[in-house]
């Protein structure tokens, strides 16, 4: 474990989650996240990744165990990219993106400028006044990403943010995200299905096992930052990816044998 109890933003302690209909989405999950850490969650579809993120964000209570925040005020300072874009259909791209700034009462001028910056970042310049229904699926997701980047939160939770994007946009946004992360020292918890992405981005990859969802393994990725495109072709990178894939494999087999 990288984080010790004295050096963590938050810690999941024996967290379990049972939904009202009886589905056991998560069982006995233990996970500590250090300040400024970049952690990825990978795992089969339906293994509880989104559930963990939502619990961390305080959207819903764990059924068992608890989530301990080192400084409770940090639990209030989050950004979240939901798995589906979750845009307000009645608001333009610009209004959707600047929503967090509107909510924290940033001055309109400044909010507009900041929002415009992140809109440019995700490549949606020119679509500021479009409504969500006029956007393609990937563009909608990018609006959602832009919205999460418009503030500077303590903890950034991202649920498959780049799943709907083409490889090029995706790797551009990957580097942009890493860049921002290094610059702003966010703590990032990142869900992805893309092992390469997980390894490329994070300091630690958490592999989850399904049915019931639980944490199967944690794999530290101890390559230094900044990581550039060369890293993506390095044998070290390939090895890490293989290790994650292997753990994913055993996690799934475990589940099937249960």
Ligand X SMILES: Nc1ncnc2c1ncn2[C@@H]1O[C@H](COP(=O)(O)OP(=O)(O)OP(=O)(O)O)[C@@H](O)[C@H]1O
- Residues near Mg ion (CB under 5 A) are 50, 83, 136-137
User: Binding to another protein (CB under 8 A): which residues in 198-257?
Assistant: 211-212, 214-222, 236, 239-240, 243-244, 247, 254
Task: Please enumerate in sequence order all residues whose Cβ is within 8 A of that of 257, keeping only pairs 6 or more positions apart, or say none.
Answer: none
- Does 21 sit near a second copy (CB under 8 A)? yes
State the Cα–Cα distance between residues 117 and 94, nearest whole angstrom: 11
Q: Which is nearer to a second copy, 22 or 72 (CB)?
A: 22
H/E element holding 43?
A: strand 38-43
Kindly state whether residue 236 participates in binding a second copy, applying the rule CB under 8 A. no
Cβ neighbours for 26, distance < 8 A, ≥ 6 positions apart:
15, 16, 17, 48, 51, 52, 55, 62, 212, 213, 214
Neighbours of 119 (CB within 10 A): 25
Q: Quick count: other Cβ atoms within 10 Å of Cβ 14?
A: 12
Query: Does 184 sit behind a cis peptide bond, omega within 30 degrees of 0 on the bond before it?
Result: no
Distances (CA, A) of 124 to 22, 112, 145, 149, 176: 42, 14, 11, 14, 15
Task: Show the binding pattern over residues 117-156: x = contacts another protein (CB under 8 A), - = does not.
Answer: ---------x----xxx-----------------------
Query: How far is residue 9's CA from residue 54's CA, in Å, rounded to a whole number?
Result: 16
| CB distance 186 to 25 below 8 Å | no
Q: In the complex with ligand X, which residue's Cβ is closer, 110 or 129?
A: 129
**Whole-number CA gyration radius for the chain:** 18
Q: Say which entry of a second copy, another protein, ligand X, none residue 215 contacts (CB below 5 to 8 A, set by partner kind).
A: another protein
The three-state secondary structure class of 205 is strand
Q: Candidates 164, 178, 201, 219: give the one binding a second copy (CB under 8 A).
A: 164
Using CB under 8 A, which of 58, 60, 108, 137 touches a second copy? 137
In this complex, which beta carbon is closest to ligand X, that of residue 101 or of residue 207? Answer: 207
- Return the SS3 of 251: helix
Which of positions 153-172 make contact with another protein (CB under 8 A)?
none
Q: Give the shortest CB-161-to-a second copy separation in angstroms.
A: 12
CB 252, min distance to a second copy, A: 6
- Compare residues 190 and 237 and give the one whose CB is closer to ligand X: 190
Tell me if 60 contacts ligand X by CB under 6 A: no
Q: Which of 46, 58, 126, 220 binds ligand X (CB under 6 A)?
A: 46
- In whole angstroms, give the CA distance from residue 95 to residue 113: 12
Interface residues toward another protein, by CB under 8 A: 1, 18-24, 27-28, 30, 54-55, 57-60, 76, 78-80, 82, 84, 86, 88-91, 99-100, 102-104, 126, 131-133, 211-212, 214-222, 236, 239-240, 243-244, 247, 254, 258
Interface residues toward ligand X, by CB under 6 A: 19, 21, 23, 25, 43, 45-51, 83, 133-139, 213
């Amino acid at each position: 474990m990288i984080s010790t109890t004295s050096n963590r933003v938050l810690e999941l302690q024996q967290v379990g989650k049972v939904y009202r209909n009886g589905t056991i989405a998560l069982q006995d999950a233990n996970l500590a996240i250090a300040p400024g850490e970049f952690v990825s969650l990978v795992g089969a579809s339906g293994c509880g990744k989104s559930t963990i993120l939502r619990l961390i964000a305080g959207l819903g209570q764990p059924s068992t165990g608890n989530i301990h925040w080192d400084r409770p005020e940090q639990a209030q300072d989050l950004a979240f990219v939901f798995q589906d874009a979750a845009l307000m259909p009645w608001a333009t791209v610009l209004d959707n993106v600047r929503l967090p700034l509107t909510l924290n009462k940033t001055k309109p001028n400044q909010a507009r400028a900041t929002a415009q910056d992140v809109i440019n970042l995700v490549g949606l310049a020119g679509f500021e006044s479009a409504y969500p229904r006029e956007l393609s699926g990937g563009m909608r997701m990018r609006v959602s990403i832009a919205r999460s980047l418009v503030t500077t939160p303590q903890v950034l939770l991202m649920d498959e943010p780049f799943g709907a994007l083409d490889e090029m946009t995706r790797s551009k946004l990957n580097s942009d995200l890493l860049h921002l992360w290094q610059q702003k020292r966010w703590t990032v918890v990142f869900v992805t299905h893309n092992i390469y992405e997980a390894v490329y981005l994070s300091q630690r990859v958490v592999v989850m096992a399904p049915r019931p969802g639980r944490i199967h393994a944690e794999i530290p990725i101890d390559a230094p930052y900044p990581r550039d495109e060369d890293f993506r072709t390095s044998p070290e990178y390939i090895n890490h990816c293989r290790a994650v894939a292997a753990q994913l494999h055993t996690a799934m087999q475990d589940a099937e044998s249960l």
